[in-house]
Structure 1
Amino acid sequence: MALTAAAAITVPAVSPAGVLAEEAAFTDVSARYAEAVSYLTENGITKGLTANQFGTAKSISRVDAVIQMALALGFDPKGTYKDAGFTDVPKRGQWAVNALAEKNIVAGKKAGTFGAHDAITRNETARLIALAYELPMVESVPETSFSDVSEKWARYVAALVNHGITEGKASSHFGADDNLTRGEWALFLHRLSTSTEKEFNLTVMHTNDTHAHVENAARKVTAIKEVRKVKPDALLLDAGDVFSGTLYFNEYLGQADLEFMNLAGYDAMTFGNHEFDLGTKPLADFIENAKFPFVSANVNFSSDENVKGLFKNEMSASPQDGTVYNGIIKEVDGEKVGIFGLTTAETTDISSPGEGVAFEDYLEESEKAVAAFEEQGVDKIIALTHIGFKDGGGDNDMTLAQEVEGIDIIVGGHSHDQLKEPVLETTGTDPTVIVQANEYNKFLGTLDVTFDENGKVIGHAGKLIEIDAKDEGGAYVLKDDPEAAKILAEKYKPAVDEKRNTVVGESDVALNGERADVRTKETNLGNLITDGMLEKAKTINKEAVIALQNGGGIRASINEGKITLDEVLTVMPFGNSLALMNLTGAEIKAALEHSVKEAPGQSGGFLQVSGLKFTYDSSKPAGARVQSIEVKKGGEYAPLADSDSYIVATNTFTAKGGDGYDMFGKAYEEGRVSEPGFVDWEMFRDYIQAHPGITPESEKRIIDTKQ
């Protein structure tokens, strides 16, 4: 949980060197090393090898490097540290090795052996520095600009380069396996001492699109607390769409989620489109009971009867809980951090905000927000957004980062992207770091950013902490927070468990969701699900004509008779949400070829369909099986045209290329996919409630012509 570094260390301020190295009688110290050597000697980090020899060109041993590092970091040589168990460390260095080993900064070369007297390589040095000084690191860096740095060491070397500690021995050569000299070590320590005084490190924890998935809230609270143990000043932000998605929302209208958010201590939240699904009255109740402020620069509530009393159309350095601002200023470790919010303008089409809520241009309002912060001397700015990473709905984070200067961090939501590592957008003058933490409380996102003295991002690292990760024995790695677990079990869960037995519809026939069938052929349940998906899609975009559902997303059958919510949730347990794709006929044909490439064998990517029918021959080679495709328009079927464009509904998993649908993934990358976000089981429930007495059957939508 300690993000990229294993220790929380305060680097002491150093006094200016009063005497240059030449004056200390070292005859082997050139002008290049003079200031660095003076820093070490004046601060008692080392005295040199002899009275007149610093040993600039000599290799430094692992134990001597650790001793100097420990002194530079401010560890007390007389302190008490856990014995690391190394038998080869001389007495003079035991305290230093134990101190750094206790913080997981150093390790031995093998059990019981530190390799104390071995020369330390430049690769090993990079790791030592990166961990000790908590330099932001990308978890996986396959390569650097240096040809001699392997993947094992790349992230540590990259951290030093990004931090301005080294440029390597040459543009393409780091000297990875070379022994570090005492002079080089002096340069590194001196550069670190001066850079850390001017830099500011900010940690952000972030969530988005949690959609009322509170069953694991107690584990998430534990994750947040563990991060704060190491990073007590870390911000905690949410990028919207707390509303809708599970029975906890249907029962408590966001108040269950809010109690856990208040308990966790969120610093700010922006609004997602689903916060407006039931109008603004439940939203107003949510805002009013929050123990944190809300930010949204492009949503104007001044004419909304429910929220206008909680809305302040301004930036605030003293934000109040339960109040909506354009943006807020937080003080973190003596530095001002600006946070403003954005909500997708699609909300007017895909939700129910009402006439009193106005959605303004997100780029224009972002520019105003940045300018307002800068006028108040704020040069570290976070955009907390619910517009999608690369969403095709008209606004997204990538465009925001490219078009608006001055935004340092974008904490995003709406598109449910699992950004395993932060994305760095470098189009403008200064870089922008973009993060997003997937969906449904599956992850707590963590981000470390280092700013220089001018507020420019000079280093970053981040990762997603999996809330429901299990160990080899099947137990959760994160234990439940006792207080949160009690609240869930006693206050909220009983009513939700009872609600699962609610009857939501009835079918006169059994609905076939058997694994072997939905992954190989058309089924009546597949037809019912896609028909419901297409009906919902048409309410958002009347041009929608096709719906596709991957068979792997249908997990069970439903018996004839009454249908309960529990049965619906068993059929669709993943909570996949709706996406609308703008595809060519040729792309649709390629997708159908991919759908049947394993036939007659099973494939989770086999597509159940609505709005079209097609034939294929499973005896032909994969990629050349589809024989005919017809699309239903205006009640009549007509041949699919390769060059025509069609609006196609599916779930976001498939729309982003899941199950190998690269043609869909390409459309997503090109901004041809919008994500209104309605959850699959809710669409299915609404459809069967709106069509009582429906008797779905197979309709020859998919036919294998193999003789």
Structure 2
Amino acid sequence: MRGRKQAAFLASIFSTLALSVSIILPTSTKAESAENYSLTIMHMNDTHAHADLLPNMVTAIKEVRAQDPNALLFNAGDVFSGTLYFNQFIGQADLALLNMMNIDAMVFGNHEFDLGSGENGQKSLSEFAAKANFPFLSANVDFSGDAYMASKQNNTYTETPEDGIVYNGMVKEVNGEKVGIFGLTTEDTANISSPVNVKFQNYIEKANEAVAAFEDMGINKIIAVTHIGYDSNPETGNDLLLAKYVDGIDVIVGGHSHTQLTAPVVVDQDENGAAKDKTVIVQAYQYSQNLGELKVDFDENGIVVGQTGQLIDVASKAADSEAAAVLAPYKSEIDSLTNQETGATAKKALTNPRLTDSAVSVRSNETELGNLVTDAMLAKAKERNENVVIAMQNGGGIRAAIDEGPITTGEVIAVLPFGNDPAVVQLTGDEIKQILEYSVRLAPAESGGFLHVAGMKFTYDSTKEAGSRVLTMQVKVNGQYEDIKAGQTYLVTTNNFTAKGGDGYEVFAKAYQEGRVQDIGAIDWEQLRDYMVQDLNGDVNPQIEGRIIDTLGKEQEPETPGQEPETPGEEPETPGEEPETPIEEPETPVTDDENNQDNDNGTETPVTDDNTSDDSDDNAGAVDDNKDNGSSDTDKNTQNQGSNTDKPGTSNNAGNTLPNTATNMYTMILVGGLLLVSGIVVMIYRKVKHA
């Protein structure tokens, strides 16, 4: 046994002896139980350059410290990327405010590495660290190969941390007790950001090393500050798994998944379901909106015996006047940039209608602006993974119109104001149908979860019962539409809010839980801006294309999926036939990390949160899932129709297939002949050998 387990074991022996003595001695001689040790922790995460609320955050922090001057404060990462504050000042505006908060330590988020490729290393991150008046923690990030950050890394567990230096962990003495603190960053950063030469090591192994190091120092109160996600893809790790697999962590202060934990979550079972010492997990949502406050009690052995926590609404606090003054020059410049033209021009007004003043709505109908947004999502997702074939955007997430004429940065941000991370989700055709059924379940009434689409089109009948409305679904492949197949897997891009089950999408939530959602390391409004400028050359004129059609109970002629012209002499292709090229099974995907659920009053309500495989068919961005979905042998045989591959029981003459009886007899004769020849060869060999 190590550390606390050994101490607890000895304590149980002594408590048994004490109990025996107490039976003999008078009551007045019983020893008073030692008082519990109490620790207050403040925390923030995933602020993503939402600097306007940081002066309010300063006020909230001061109020907590007025009650408990020794309260610790941690930042769980992702200060970088999200608003114009980052685009313009690369973290320095945020840092000016963070430096006013007396932060005890910060862990790196995946977005802290976003600029690595363009800078051939972590230049901007090193400049951020150099000006920070707090240390950084990272037990599983190796900066040794990075020209800018290598000199800032100190692979120790120190009791004397210095500002701007990266440590595996550190020790803080609070109210006479030593507390060990270490940091972890998601290994998925290698896939969703630009770390270049920075390496990410196994989080479980490094967490075990950190706990052992602190216990060897005699420390039995241990905090992990993490940016791995509360419930993110298990393949790259999350806080729930960390709590189960690593014994000795008392508190996990988390980030990355943008999870709003309004109360602390307690894990008291290990990976096998056996009882373990409590681990308390907290996370404070996103975008500087909340300051988390946790009070945790320990017994004399460092075991958690109680906890209470809350999220403080930062916007409800008055801005700290000194902090507001520090932010003012940055804010003034950002206000000017908001009116700066992007280089794109809208050829007409792109409205964002609602049923209150229009016959159509962004929440119940295809719109030109919805098509523009989803086209941008699909184009930019394809740049990262060419097999992505469909884009989906919830109508409740499209918040403003674009006027005719030059498009400003402010207009783009107003359309998609939440700064959501786009994701790619691995879905079967059957799951896509369930998603579309949910999307139109309330039609023609409005729903914030109504999905705009690109790369596909579908029809539905709003006069039918909800859940049985979708009539046709087609995906565009090589410029032509073909039917979406129930058992085939497709890569779909959407915002991370929807990908995690926002607006009540249970199918997306299930995919997220199963690790089929992959953050692609981008920001949605930046995708839209770049698409209009780069892909459209600034000429913005989207159209209504019949991507979403409500038949309203009217019969429509069946639409023949678009196909390539047939080559003379070839067998005609069976509609819905699977591609002949073998398709690989998808790899188990990796996950990550965010968004806002739209409710009836148009405000956003958070949901708990970081994924998909890149392996899919080059022709359709899809993976054959017939095997996994229980398709019949008949279906599998259908996939091979028209193939020129020689197989037992088939003929190269088109349409001439041998009967099963002839095939079986032929096979038996062939096998028998091979066995006879083999026997003769063996006999000859033995005779020659013994001659």
Same fold (TM over 0.5): yes
User: Aligned letter for 1:488?
Assistant: L
- 1:536–1:385 CA distance, 2 compared to 1 (3 A): farther
Asked if the contact 1:350/1:540 (under 8 Å) is kept, the reply is no
Q: Which consecutive unaligned segments of at least 5 residues does structure 1 have?
A: 1-29, 40-189, 470-477
* Residue aligning to 2:189: 347
Aligned mate of 1:225, from 36, 57, 62: 62
Query: Offset at 1:367?
Result: 1.5
Q: TM-score, normalised by structure 1?
A: 0.70
RMSD over aligned Cα, in angstroms?
2.1
Query: For residues 349-498 of structure 1, what are the structure 2 equivalents within 5 Å?
Result: 349-354=191-196, 356-392=197-233, 394-428=236-270, 429-469=276-316, 478-489=317-328, 491-498=329-336
User: Aligned letter for 2:465?
Assistant: P
Query: Offset at 1:507?
Result: 2.4
Mapped to 2, the partners of 1:675 and 1:463 lie a distance apart of 28
User: Aligned letter for 1:209?
Assistant: D
1:581 equivalent in alignment to 2:425 = yes
Aligned mate of 1:206, from 7, 32, 43: 43
1:305 equivalent in alignment to 2:305 = no
Mapped to 2, the partners of 1:295 and 1:519 lie a distance apart of 44
1:272 equivalent in alignment to 2:109 = yes
Q: Secondary structure at the match of 2:213?
A: helix
Aligned mate of 2:88, from 251, 260, 265: 251
Asked if the contact 1:410/1:434 (under 8 Å) is kept, the reply is yes
1:292 equivalent in alignment to 2:138 = no
Mapped to 2, the partners of 1:228 and 1:447 lie a distance apart of 13
1:552 equivalent in alignment to 2:396 = yes
Mapped to 1, the partners of 2:419 and 2:82 lie a distance apart of 7
Query: Offset at 1:518?
Result: 1.1
* Residue aligning to 2:347: 508
Q: Secondary structure at the match of 1:426?
A: strand
User: Aligned letter for 1:660?
Assistant: G
Aligned mate of 1:525, from 369, 385, 403: 369
Mapped to 2, the partners of 1:344 and 1:578 lie a distance apart of 18
User: Aligned letter for 2:282?
Assistant: V
Asked if the contact 2:391/2:453 (under 8 Å) is kept, the reply is yes
Asked if the contact 1:515/1:556 (under 8 Å) is kept, the reply is no
- CA deviation digits over 1:270-314, x for unaligned, max 9? 111111111211100000000000011111111211111111122
Asked if the contact 2:192/2:519 (under 8 Å) is kept, the reply is no
Query: For residues 21-420 of structure 1, what are the structure 2 equivalents within 5 Å?
Result: 35=27, 38=28, 194-196=33-35, 199-279=36-116, 280-354=122-196, 356-392=197-233, 394-420=236-262
Mapped to 2, the partners of 1:528 and 1:250 lie a distance apart of 23
User: Aligned letter for 2:310?
Assistant: K
Mapped to 1, the partners of 2:148 and 2:161 lie a distance apart of 20
Mapped to 1, the partners of 2:212 and 2:478 lie a distance apart of 51
Aligned mate of 2:439, from 580, 586, 595: 595
- 1:401–1:541 CA distance, 2 compared to 1 (3 A): farther
User: Aligned letter for 1:602?
Assistant: E
Asked if the contact 2:258/2:285 (under 8 Å) is kept, the reply is yes
User: Aligned letter for 1:600?
Assistant: P
1:702 equivalent in alignment to 2:539 = no
User: Aligned letter for 2:330?
Assistant: Y
Q: Secondary structure at the match of 1:206?
A: strand
Q: Secondary structure at the match of 1:618?
A: coil
- CA deviation digits over 1:213-245, x for unaligned, max 9? 111111110100111111111110011100011
Q: Which consecutive unaligned segments of at least 5 residues does structure 2 have?
A: 1-21, 117-121, 271-275, 356-360, 555-691
* Residue aligning to 1:621: 465
Query: Offset at 1:539?
Result: 4.0
User: Aligned letter for 1:438?
Assistant: Y
Query: Offset at 1:673?
Result: 2.5
* Residue aligning to 2:573: none
Asked if the contact 1:514/1:555 (under 8 Å) is kept, the reply is no
Mapped to 1, the partners of 2:419 and 2:26 lie a distance apart of 63
- 1:665–1:253 CA distance, 2 compared to 1 (3 A): same
1:561 equivalent in alignment to 2:382 = no
Asked if the contact 1:235/1:267 (under 8 Å) is kept, the reply is yes
Q: How many residues align?
A: 513
- CA deviation digits over 1:182-201, x for unaligned, max 9? xxxxxxxx99x6241xx221
Query: Offset at 1:542?
Result: 4.0
Query: Offset at 1:330?
Result: 1.3
Q: TM-score, normalised by structure 2?
A: 0.71
Q: Secondary structure at the match of 1:645?
A: strand
Query: Offset at 1:515?
Result: 2.9
Mapped to 2, the partners of 1:423 and 1:669 lie a distance apart of 18
- 1:399–1:582 CA distance, 2 compared to 1 (3 A): farther
* Greater relative contact order, per chain length (Cα 8 Å cut-off, separation 6+): 2
Identity of aligned pairs, percent? 54
User: Aligned letter for 2:279?
Assistant: T
Q: Secondary structure at the match of 1:264?
A: coil
- CA deviation digits over 1:320-373, x for unaligned, max 9? 00101111111111212111111112222221121x211111121111111112
Asked if the contact 1:390/1:668 (under 8 Å) is kept, the reply is no
Mapped to 1, the partners of 2:498 and 2:95 lie a distance apart of 31
Q: Secondary structure at the match of 1:488?
A: helix
Query: Offset at 1:431?
Result: 2.0
Mapped to 1, the partners of 2:141 and 2:147 lie a distance apart of 14
